[in-house]
Homo-oligomer: A and B are copies of this chain.
Amino acid sequence: MSEAREFRYVGTRPIRPDGVDKVTGRANFGADMFMPGMLHAKVLRSPHAHARIKRVDLSKALQIPGVHAAVSGADFPDIASEAMAGVVDLAINVMARDKALYHGHAVAGVAATSPAIAEAALGAIEVEYELLPPVMDLDTAMADGATLVREDNYTQGLPEKPDKPSNVAGYFALSRGDLEAGFAEADVIIEREYSTPTVHQGYIEPHACVVRAGEDGQALVWCSTQGHFDVRSASAKVLGMDVSNIKVIASEIGGGFGGKTTIYLEPVAIRLSQKSGRPVKLVMNREEVFRASGPGSASKSKVKIGAKRDGTFIAIHCWHAYEAGAYQGSPMRPGLMCAFASYEIDHFLIEGFDVLVNKPKVAAYRAPGAPQSVYATECAIDEIARELGMDPIDIRLKNAVKEGSEATYGPKFRAIGLVECLEAAKQHPNYQVKLGENEGRGVAAGFWFNAGMQSSAQVHVNENGTVTIVEGSPDIGGSRASMALMCAEELGIPYENIHVVIGDTESAGFNSGTGGSRVTFATGMAVIEASRDVKRQLCARAAMTWSVDAEQVDWEDGHAVPKPGVNVEAEPLTLAQIATGAPRTGGPISGRASLTARGPGPGFSVNFTDVRVDRETGKVDVLRFTAIQDAGKAVHPDYVEGQLQGGAVQGIGWALNEEYIWDEQGTMENAGFLDYRIPVASDMPMIDTQIVEVPNPTHPYGVRGVGETPIVAPLAATANAVADATGVRITDLPLSPPRVLAAMDAAEGK
């Protein structure tokens, strides 16, 4: 299906269509919508990490002048009802019913004529709690006799249903070969434990929505989201509404990284709007984002890996526990599938646990689950290489999966680019740089499946020959530009003549959300198909003009031309000429495609980094970071590079600084960007990137997703570099100055 071809537009780097809007501040984000008569809403949140809710009394709040509506759990559908089967967790996360499950859990909401009145009204809501002991870490949660976060939770995925409830929500395992025999064959075995903390995606724009619900049961939702069709279906389920009664418009989005694939505010705002008869704006502040939106999962891993003297991996046993928050559904399963997906291995058992704790429900965070598990395996590989005295790239090259390899998670790979990335790393000038004192270098490989899912696109030809694309994937990383480039490539018209629109749920065909690294691949495929639909029509219109059959016309370089051998006197017709004549040849020209995209090409990366560690403070400075990744075909290389750079920075932050800090009562102590420190530009060197292009054979242009793989390898690459610099292996992230200092002091016997 992929074509060996030269590209004219794809692969160039034009300015993105939404660029001016965003640099001038004109772009409208989630909180930037105003509606006549709009109220301002606030949410009352539990001050306790685990408590039974005995009573919620809204009456005093409702007496405050300016308060138009208030809601609590009782205002939402009964979770015991049959219609709510399958959405109970989502529903009670949006608004608590009988229990508050984490500090920050929504307990009530109010809508008033000003934010100040709404805030005052929160103080007038009476809630009676019965405190329960909070379960705040994996060890406590998994211990025998632990307090239960959810009294009705039974572990899923075991051969038999367990006889009593526990905090383990799920078990999953991948295996092949004979583990015992494998380890018996190994010349060297490394066995280690690792952990990663709760981290936040750190999107700059908080969750926000503006909602208008009407007397006819219709609701209009404007919000910041990665998937407005998902907001529509999730909100409908939580409220017991029909999807066709909810229209969702995706505002511009100030970052998501997986964290905006679910809902928090929208059903609350809809209910408040229904009760008040007025539009309602509901916006989280940063503290609420930290306390009540889904972070990335904390994890604990045990890795035992055995290799032959020549570096061949022979057996691995991985054990990974992931925090789910107070609701089942950590990214444990994809985490396990990614853990050792980059390598060929005969004997393995990769098993994991999805564990409940009294923390907010985790959300997806870029390649969900993979950074945690790959951090553990890529650190262990580093220790094996060190033990064997092998170059860390060479040991990976020796074991790297390639076309035909059987992935640990099942399928046989088609054409993939891991070997090419490793070879590029080895050749890279940065890999030749000599290191100084207290400096170290770390290498790691990363992997993500990439996703396909559902996309729709329409391509409308305007009367002057310009083109409008309507698609339904919120543009986070420059996808408007990529869509326009692919359409330009198909139609042979300049990029500037193409305008891309992200339609709302009522103007675009159905689209899965922007996530899974699927948009350039899948929505791109829909745009290509819809553009080809347009080309067929353009050829048919030209044929009509020339009185020949449609099959006798070709589309070449932006023109309809008679096929060779067709006996007609005809000047080539441009798209603009055909568009201008369209009213006389059958009317407007529009193409469309809807598809479930199959065969997203897996994405592999290799990262290496040089760090310097300050012996006095334990502070780690990143000197160089090189991100190499197979993009299949880079449609807009700037935005591929941006993904590589952004993923690297987020991964470095995860490795070095970021972590939620909780007190014993389960209160997060650093719920703000001053205390929860994400890397800023001045912390980082320029991230060097190199794009490898091994075409994805299932995409017409060879495109692979690129958005998630970049965050997978940096944790281990950074940790491996710190170990190299200090000679001390710290296995618990983050490698923050106190921890690094303490480890170095301990190693020196201080």
Q: Which A residues are within 8 Å of any B CB, using their own CB? A: 19-21, 24, 26, 32, 34-36, 212, 214-216, 218, 229, 233, 242-244, 453-456, 458, 460-464, 466-468, 470, 497, 499, 501, 503-511, 582-590, 592, 594-597
Residue of A35, A583, A586, A594 contacting most chain B CB atoms (<10 Å): A594
Task: Check B583–A462 contact: CB distance below 8 A.
Answer: no
Closest 6 CB pairs of A and B: A507-B507, A587-B596, A20-B216, A244-B466, A510-B588, A588-B594
Docked pose: A504 CA to B36 CA in angstroms: 21
CA separation between A463 and B462, bound complex, in Å? 30
A-B contact pairs, 9 of them (CB 8 A): A19-B216, A20-B216, A21-B214, A244-B499, A454-B588, A460-B509, A463-B510, A510-B587, A511-B588
A590 proximity list for chain B (CB < 8 A): 456, 458, 509-510, 592, 594
Chain B residue numbers with a CB within 8 Å of A470 are: 506-507
Q: A587 contacts B583, CB within 8 Å?
A: no
Q: By the criterion CB–CB under 8 Å, are B242 and A466 in contact?
A: yes
Question: Which single member of B26, B216, B463 contacts A214 (CB below 8 Å)?
Answer: B26
**C-alpha spacing A594/B19, complex, angstroms:** 32
Interchain CB contact under 8 A, A215 and B507 = no
- Beyond the given pairs A26-B212, A244-B467, A590-B594, 13 more chain A to chain B contacts, judged by CB atoms under 8 angstroms and listed by A's residue number, are A19-B216, A21-B216, A24-B214, A243-B462, A453-B583, A454-B582, A458-B458, A460-B508, A461-B510, A468-B505, A501-B506, A503-B507, A504-B507
**Inter-chain contact A506/B468, CB cutoff 8 Å:** yes
Among A497, A501, A590, find the residue whose CB has the most chain B CB atoms closer than 10 A. Answer: A590
Report Cα–Cα, A21/B497, bound state, in Å.
Answer: 37
Contacts of A229 in B (CB 8 A): 463
Nearest B residue (CB) for A461? B510
Residue of B nearest to A23 (CB): B215
B456 near A233 with CB under 8 A, answer: no
Q: Bound complex: CA of A511 vs CA of B588, how far in Å?
A: 8
How many whole Å from A280's CB to the nearest CB in chain B?
Answer: 14
Chain B residues with CB below 8 A from A36, complex form: 32, 34
- Choose from B24, B218, B506 the contact partner of A215 (Cβ within 8 Å): B24
In the complex, which residue of chain B has the Cβ closest to the Cβ of A15?
B216
On whether the beta carbons of B20 and A215 are closer than 8 Å, the reply is yes
How far does the alpha carbon of A589 sit from the alpha carbon of B499 in the complex, in Å? Answer: 24
- Number of identical monomers bound together in the oligomeric complex: 2
Bound-state Cα–Cα, A594 to B32, Å: 35
Contact A243-B21, Cβ < 8 Å, known A584-B596, A588-B594, A594-B590 = no
B462 touches A510 (CB 8 A): yes
A587: chain B residues at CB < 8 Å are 454-456, 510, 594-597
Q: Within the complex, what minimum Cβ distance (angstroms) separates A681 from chain B? A: 25
Chain B residue nearest in CB terms to A460: B509
Complex formed: what's the CA distance from A267 to B216 in Å?
A: 36
Contact B244 A468 (CB under 8 A): yes
Cα–Cα distance between A242 and B579 once the two chains are bound (Å)? 15
Docked Cα-Cα span, A36 to B470, in Å, equals 26
Interface centre among A461, A466, A506, A585 (most CB of B within 10 A): A506
Closest to A244 in B: B466
- CB neighbours of A458 from chain B (8 A): 458, 509, 590, 592
Q: Determine the residue in chain B with the shortest Cβ distance to A505.
A: B468
Q: In the complex, A511 Cα to B589 Cα: how many Å?
A: 11
Which B-chain residue is minimally distant from A35 (CB atoms)?
B34
In angstroms, Cα B583 to Cα A510, docked, is: 10
Task: Give the residue name and chain of the B residue nearest to A503 (CB).
Answer: B507
Instruction: Write out the residue numbers on chain B whose beta carbons fall within 8 Å of the beta carbon of A510.
Output: 460-463, 587-588, 590
Chain B residues whose C-beta falls within 8 Å of the C-beta of A596 in the assembled complex: 582-587
CA distance A19 to B20 in the complex (A): 39
Q: How far is the CA of A466 from the CA of B32 in the complex (A)?
A: 30
Contacts of A585 in B (CB 8 A): 596
Kindly state the separation between the CA atoms of A506 and B36 in the bound complex, as whole angstroms.
25
Given contacts A215-B24, A499-B244, contact A586 B595 (CB under 8 A): yes
Residues of B within 8 A of A242 (CB): 464, 466
Query: In the complex, what residues of B have CB within 8 A of residue A584's CB?
Result: 596
* Cβ contacts under 8 Å, A460 to chain B: 456, 508-510
Closest to A594 in B: B588
Q: Once the chains are docked, how many angstroms separate the CA of A594 from the CA of B585?
A: 11
Give, as a whole number of angstroms, the nearest-CB distance from A562 to chain B: 24
Q: Which residue of B lies closest to A470 (CB)?
A: B507
Nearest-neighbor residue (CB-CB) of A592 within chain B: B592
Cα–Cα, bound, A361→B594 (Å): 46
With A and B bound together, what is the CA distance between A595 and B590 in angstroms? 10
Q: Are B583 and A454 in contact, CB atoms less than 8 angstroms apart?
A: yes
With a CB–CB cut-off of 8 A, which chain B residues contact A511? 588
Nearest CB on B from A205, distance (A): 16
Q: A36-B34, A243-B466, A468-B244 are in contact. Are A588 and B509 (CB under 8 A)?
A: yes
Task: Report the nearest B residue to A537, measured CB to CB.
Answer: B594
Instruction: Tell me whether A499 and B507 are in contact (CB under 8 A).
Output: no
A506 contacts across to B, CB distance below 8 A? 468, 470, 499, 501
| Whole-angstrom CA separation of A277 from B202 in the bound complex | 32
In the bound complex, how far is the Cα of B26 from the Cα of A592, in angstroms?
Answer: 33
When distances are taken between beta carbons in the complex, the residues of chain B under 8 Å from A455 are 587-588
A214 vs B28: C-alpha distance when bound (angstroms): 13
Looking at A229, A233, A588, A596, the one whose CB has the most chain B CB atoms below 10 A away is A588
Which chain B residues border A35 with CB–CB below 8 Å? 34
* Contacting pair A507 B497 (CB below 8 A): no
Cα(A32)–Cα(B589), bound, Å: 33
A463–B230 CA distance with the chains assembled, in angstroms: 11
A21 CB contacts on chain B under 8 angstroms: 214, 216
Output the least CB separation between A483 and chain B (Å): 13
Contact A464-B586, Cβ < 8 Å, known A36-B34, A214-B26, A499-B506 = no
CA distance A242 to B244 in the complex (A): 35
Q: How far is the CA of A32 from the CA of B586 in the complex (A)?
A: 37
Chain B positions within 8 Å of A212 at CB level: 26
Closest to A511 in B: B588
How far apart are the CA atoms of A26 and B212 in the complex, in Å?
Answer: 10
- Chain B residues with CB under 8 A of A466: 242-244
